[in-house]
Amino acid sequence: MKNFLVKTIANAGALAVAVWLLDKITLTGGSTGEKALTLIVVALVFGLVNMVVKPIVQVLTFPLFILTLGLFTLVVNALMLLLTSWVADKLDVSFHVDGFWTAVLGGLIVSIVSWALNAFLPDGD
Q: What is the pLDDT of residues 73-123, one digit of tens each?
A: 999 999 999 999 999 999 998 999 999 999 999 999 999 998 898 788 776
Per the structure, the count of domains in the chain is 1
Alpha helices in 22-99 (DSSP H): 32-60, 62-67, 72-90
Whether 112 maps to a domain, the answer reads yes
Q: Domain of 90?
A: 1-120
pTM higher than 0.85: yes
Whether 125 maps to a domain, the answer reads no
Whether 54 maps to a domain, the answer reads yes
